[in-house]
Chain A
């Protein structure tokens, strides 16, 4: 089966510019997650969707970050405006209810803010 797809793989922008990341989860997976991973650290959850509903966005910096999951499939994470400290890897994961929460991760998008 196809894995979690993310694009772009790499993005370089200047500070104050907007940026968007796209994620296509594994077919049939109703739960979708966005994680942020700083260099040398483990991933940290930003937001979790159950179908199209954001059920845990407590760690999402809502002043500049936004996310959507239209039709409960693909998802987009946006940053506007980007800051230097946003440089990190943004990981998308998905899971299927009843599968002991095995989360399948995409390769991530590495963002560099200059």
Chain B
């Protein structure tokens, strides 16, 4: 699976959009981009994933550049409960096989 690079930490004001970048310059054509987050003392939680097109669900939006070498996770109206570590992961298949390779992620702190 391709390696990802994320900033170590970011801050965001409550109610504002949080934009979390991820670089994955060695991504292959069959690799998906996944985002998970981990709130303190909890297990990771799936947020969203995509291959080429931008994706949106009830939690967030995922913007993938045309060359697929980077992506941005957008939390449109961040709340204090969005404070967590956010992991960007690329992996080869959207089937149930294979592992998730987590990096160190981005610590997002949402402040009042």
Contact = CB atoms under 8 A, between A and B. Distances in A.
B95 A93 contact: no
A48 interface: yes
A96 interface: yes
Nearest to B100: A103
A105 B41 contact: no
A30 B96 CA distance: 9
Interface in A39-79: 40-45, 48, 50, 56
Nearest to B89: A42
A31 interface: yes
Interface string B17-47: 0000000000000000000000001111110
Given A33-B99, A101-B95, A103-B100, A93 B43 contact: yes
B103 A42 contact: yes
Chain A interface size band reads 20 to 34
Interface in A15-43: 30-31, 33, 40-43
Interface of A: 4, 30-31, 33, 40-45, 48, 50, 56, 91, 93, 95-108
Given A48-B99, A101-B98, 12 more contacts: A31-B97, A40-B104, A41-B104, A42-B105, A43-B44, A43-B100, A91-B43, A93-B44, A97-B95, A99-B96, A107-B43, A108-B43
